Chains A and B, each alone.
Chain A
Amino acid sequence: MMELEALQEIDSEVRALGGRIVALTPERERYTRNVHKKLNLTFDILTDLHLKTAEQFRLVFALPDYLRDLYRSFGSTLDRFHDEPEYRLPMPARYVIDKEGIIRAADVNADYTIRPEPSEAVRLLRTLRA
């Protein structure tokens, strides 16, 4: 959620540089619709159901049993949110992809509490344009 809010803050700059932001999540559309509305986002959230695209980026991992049980006790039931009975998730990741489809920046961290600054993406887009 904080990632989405931070991306929203750079969306107009990204667009001014000719780029677009998209956020991918395994969540079903009924949830992406709510989040999109709640945060007043101006970029799209795409539903990567069953993690097909995340798999291609090689970002998918399965939650260990003990963590599944913990999340269930919090009420975070991924089988319901994602139709994901195996409790798999994408590692948090942010990519900048150039017009030719080549990855120019990649930030993947197994620790979801560590994220790169969105301003770094803006800086890169500026150099791609130059």
Chain B
Amino acid sequence: MASLQPRLDEFKKAFESGAPPYSAPHEAIETMHRATAELKASGLENIALNVGDRAPEFSLFNQDHVKVNSAGLLRQGPMVVSFFRGHW
């Protein structure tokens, strides 16, 4: 199985090189670094739910507009839950 982090590192390197296909301007990269550093410094990641906490229940629509309920899934077994920002 290929590892995820090396792929992310490779993407980051290509993006931050400023070369095509991304051709990211230097100032844009600086801005993104600043925002990440500020979020890191805010300590917000330390207040997120953590190991030992009870996971909140959710009931949300999937890609086919079918309601999916976390309690229903957990009745069958454990769950891996990933939060991501989006396709962009």
| Residues in chain A within 8 A of chain B (CB atoms) | 1-4, 6-7, 9-10, 14, 17-27, 29, 31-37, 44-49, 52-54, 56-59, 61, 63-64, 66-67, 70, 74-76, 78, 81-82, 89-106, 108-119, 121, 125, 128
Q: Closest approach, in angstroms, between the C-beta of A91 and any C-beta of chain B?
A: 6
- Quick check: A81 and B86 within 8 Å, CB to CB? yes
- Quick check: B82 and A3 within 8 Å, CB to CB? yes
Q: Closest approach, in angstroms, between the C-beta of B83 and any C-beta of chain A?
A: 4
Please report whether the interface of chain B is mostly helix, strand, loop or mixed according to DSSP.
mixed
- Quick check: B78 and A97 within 8 Å, CB to CB? yes
- Quick check: A92 and B83 within 8 Å, CB to CB? yes
Contacts of B82 in A (CB 8 A): 3-4, 7, 21-24, 93-95
Contacts of B36 in A (CB 8 A): 110-113
- Quick check: B55 and A97 within 8 Å, CB to CB? yes
Contacts of A4 in B (CB 8 A): 82, 84
Tell me the nearest residue of chain A to B46, going by C-beta. A108
Which of A97, A106, A117, A125 meets B74, CB within 8 Å? A97
Q: Which of B9, B12, B48, B60 has the most CB of A within 10 A?
A: B48
Tell me the nearest residue of chain B to A67, going by C-beta. B35
Q: Closest approach, in angstroms, between the C-beta of B21 and any C-beta of chain A?
A: 14
A-B contact pairs, 8 of them (CB 8 A): A45-B63, A47-B61, A49-B60, A57-B83, A89-B85, A96-B81, A104-B51, A106-B53
